[in-house]
A = this chain, B = another copy of it.
Amino acid sequence: MTDAVARAAELLAGHRDSIDRLDAVLVYTLAERFKQTQAVGKLKAEYDLPPSDPAREAKQIERLEWLSKEADLDPEFAKKLLAFIIQEVIQHHKQHQK
């Protein structure tokens, strides 16, 4: 292995360690987010509110757009990801109301 390749391997390992730590943050944050949305789901089921709320979702998407710009994250990716998470949440809510 040349020095340059060894250095590249070292840099790669460092980035991967960071990615692993960030993934732990993501998992715990998502877990907490689902606990919150589950509580919302229970409240909605108890008070017979509709599982989805388009006005709230529109506000979330707008906020996500400026947060993404502020964080230098592709807003299109952020929106696709939120849609993916919200779909999962709506599935949970529907299951609660059955």
Contact = CB atoms under 8 A, between A and B. Distances in A.
Interface of A: 5, 8, 11-12, 15-16, 18-20, 22-37, 39-40, 43-44, 46-47, 56, 60, 63-64, 67-68, 71-74, 77-78, 81-82, 84-85, 88
Contacts of A77: 30, 88
Given A40-B15, A73-B34, A64 B23 contact: yes
B16 A63 contact: no
Top 7 nearest A-B pairs (CB, nearest first) are A31-B71, A31-B73, A22-B33, A27-B67, A18-B36, A25-B29, A15-B40
Given A11-B39, A16-B40, A31-B73, 20 more contacts: A8-B43, A8-B46, A12-B43, A12-B44, A15-B39, A15-B40, A19-B36, A22-B29, A22-B33, A22-B36, A23-B60, A25-B29, A27-B64, A28-B67, A28-B71, A30-B73, A31-B68, A31-B72, A35-B72, A81-B84
